């Protein structure tokens, strides 16, 4: 064991893992594409290896190139981060076959929990409630309508191999089910090479709440829950911990069910169990498991004081789980705002560019996980997330006020980000009251865009009336 950790990722999560590795006394080695030679992760890491051209398929998703780099630099372990190959069973299998530790669960578990239909059956076997639906993949329309008879409408048709919100269709009645089922199967085959689909009750006003766990193959502990209901196109935008919706009793039931499921499968790594929570009935249902570190892990770190990335590396290196459930205490409230290089006022169009000027917020309770520095040029080839602003305070109300203060201090010149969107969100009474579900943000964005186009047309008509009243002296630009 030479204490050498290869980080098979980029961006802020690569920076995050470099920091954890250095604090553990490991040599951090990042792989990077040609487009990322100037990245912050490359600058901070002890060593860096170029593995290919800008396109992810030829670099960050190229298993052969990453394995060659791992062998060349004599890596003992590989951390996959999130996205890219982090939940790719073949990658995990080949890393282990090369005699290198994969920082994550074993390939068999990635496969089992990555297949939604199988994960669902596993949860049921562990006594964890799942959304009412088909017990497994449905083959034909007769089976589907029979399931619908038991479960009721509306239904979701979901690809068993899907993920990231892809491969999901809605059916509100039998004729829609007859129409959508073959389309969903064809889509699933085209997108995932597997046409298995299953059915689930569509809970329209549900919250997305997930439980963070750590496990060493025998024992599991939970680090409480995160509320991730504020989503756009099924991508999380704003997360917090704990959830404002749960009673202590519901929290305990939810977290204990996650531990039960992790122990049932002999899970060994950091992981997250995602649930839908029905505010009205207080019921919760398991939906899927993520077998990797997640983007929103810092809010859990802020309320528990536990370094999740460090713990997952320790577990992977065979040091066992150092924590007992009683060691893990929850304190205060944390929120995370994802800052993407996108313009919310232009349909979230990507805005790549160079960082001309950058001022991060500072002060008590503020954490920035980012890939940015002054002079850095955002490559156009990857995800648009450029930073996560995480804010902690003793209460939820104080954390939201501190978040607003932090956003007011933040200054980035060079391209547009979603920071302004978060600032507007924090002024919304529904956000302040914690009163939202997974569909709320989309509705709010739609209202915002209508208000924006109305005010634009008002400005235009004002400008035109001024033009008419002062035809000699006012240009269109001056008037508007």
Partner 1 sequence: MSQLTQQAPFPGVFYCRPSPDSDPFVEPGSSVDANTTIGLLEVMKQFVEVKAEAAGKVLEVLAGDEQLLEAGDDILVIDTSGEGA
Going from the C-alpha of 298 to that of each of 306, 333, 341, 362, the distances in angstroms are 10, 12, 20, 16
Nearest of 208, 149, 138 to residue 180 by alpha carbon: 138
Report in angstroms how near the CB of residue 364 gets to partner 1 at its nearest. Answer: 33
Is residue 292 among the annotated active site residues? yes
Would you count residue 342 as binding partner 1 (CB under 8 A)? yes
Ramachandran angles phi, psi of 58, nearest 5°: -100, 0
Q: Quick one: tokens of 57? A: 């398929």
Residues counted in the chain: 480
Note whether 39 and 371 are within 8 A (CB): yes
Residue 153 or residue 348: which is nearer to partner 1 going by CB? 348
Compare residues 53 and 163 and give the one whose CB is closer to partner 1.
Answer: 53
Among 22, 44, 47, 55, binds partner 1 (CB under 8 A): 55
Q: Which helix (H) or strand (E) segment is 216 a member of? A: strand 206-216
By the rule CB under 8 A, 439 interacts with partner 1: no
Among 82, 153, 192, 381, binds partner 1 (CB under 8 A): 381
| Min separation Cβ 60 and partner 1, Å | 13
54 scored as a contact of partner 1 (CB under 8 A): yes
Give the pair of three-digit tokens for residue 393: 């305070």
The least distance separating partner 1 from the CB of residue 54, rounded to whole angstroms, comes to 6
Q: Does 165 help bind partner 1 (rule: CB under 8 A)?
A: no
* By CB under 8 A, residue 127 contacts partner 1: no
3-state helix, strand, coil split of the chain in percent (to 5) is: 40, 25, 35
- As given in the structure block, the two tokens for residue 192 are 């995932």
d(CA 283, CA 286): 10
Contacts with partner 1, 225-264, as mask; x by CB under 8 A: ----------------------------------------
The strand ranges marked E within 382-447 are 385-393, 411-413
Q: Applying CB under 8 A, which part among 278-286, 357-365, 376-384, 462-470 lies near partner 1?
A: 376-384
Question: Is residue 444 a contact residue for partner 1 (CB under 8 A)?
Answer: no
Among 165, 305, 380, 439, binds partner 1 (CB under 8 A): 380
- Name the catalytic one among 251, 292, 314, 402: 292
Chain-centroid distance of CA 302 in Å reads 17
61 counts as binding partner 1 under rule CB under 8 A: no
Q: What is the DSSP letter of 26?
A: P
Residues found near partner 1 in the complex (CB under 8 A): 35, 53-55, 341-342, 349-350, 352, 380-384
- Catalytic residue numbers, as ranges: 292
């Amino acid at each position: 064991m030479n204490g050498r950790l290869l980080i098979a990722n980029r961006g802020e999560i690569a920076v995050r893992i470099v920091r954890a590795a250095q604090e553990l006394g490991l040599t951090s080695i990042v792989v990077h594409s040609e487009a990322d030679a100037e990245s912050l992760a490359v600058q901070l890491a002890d060593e860096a290896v170029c593995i290919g051209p800008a396109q992810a398929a030829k670099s960050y998703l190229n298993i052969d190139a990453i394995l060659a780099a791992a062998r060349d630099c004599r890596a003992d372990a590989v951390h996959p981060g999130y996205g890219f190959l982090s939940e790719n069973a073949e990658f995990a299998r080949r890393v282990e076959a090369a005699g290198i530790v994969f920082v994550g669960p074993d390939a068999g578990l990635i496969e089992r929990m990555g297949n939604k239909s199988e994960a669902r059956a596993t949860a049921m076997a562990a006594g964890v409630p799942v959304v009412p639906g088909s017990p497994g993949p449905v083959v034909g329309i007769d089976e589907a309508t029979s399931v619908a008879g038991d479960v009721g409408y509306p239904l979701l048709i979901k690809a068993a191999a899907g993920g990231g919100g892809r491969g999901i269709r809605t059916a509100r009645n039998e004729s829609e089910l007859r129409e959508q089922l073959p389309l969903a199967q064809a889509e699933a085959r085209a997108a995932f090479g597997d046409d298995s689909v299953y059915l689930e009750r569509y809970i329209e006003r549900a919250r997305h709440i997930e439980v963070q766990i750590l496990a060493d193959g025998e024992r599991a502990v939970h680090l409480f829950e995160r509320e991730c209901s504020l989503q756009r196109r099924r991508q999380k935008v704003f997360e917090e911990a704990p959830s404002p919706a749960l009673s202590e009793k519901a929290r305990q039931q939810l977290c204990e069910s996650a531990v039960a499921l992790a122990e049932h499968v002999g899970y060994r790594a950091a992981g997250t169990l995602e649930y839908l929570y029905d505010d009205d009935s207080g019921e919760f249902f398991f939906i899927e498991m993520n077998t990797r570190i997640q983007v929103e892990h810092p809010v859990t770190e802020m309320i528990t004081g536990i370094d999740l990335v460090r713990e997952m590396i320790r577990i992977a290196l065979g040091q066992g789980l150092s924590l007992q459930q009683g060691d893990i205490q929850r304190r205060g409230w944390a929120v995370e705002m994802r800052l993407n290089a996108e313009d919310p006022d232009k349909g979230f169009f990507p805005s790549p560019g160079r960082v001309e000027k950058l001022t991060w917020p500072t002060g008590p309770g503020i954490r920035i996980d980012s890939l940015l520095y002054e002079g850095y040029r955002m490559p156009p080839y990857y995800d648009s997330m450029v930073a996560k602003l995480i804010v902690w305070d003793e209460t939820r109300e104080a954390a939201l006020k501190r978040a607003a203060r932090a956003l007011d201090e933040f200054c980035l010149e060079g391209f547009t980000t979603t920071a302004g969107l978060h600032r507007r969100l924090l002024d919304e009474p529904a956000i302040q009251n914690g009163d939202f579900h997974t569909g709320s943000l989309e509705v709010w964005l739609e209202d915002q865009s209508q208000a924006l186009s109305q005010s634009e047309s008002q400005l235009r008509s004002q400008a035109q009336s001024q033009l008419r009243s002062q035809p000699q002296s006012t240009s269109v630009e001056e008037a508007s």
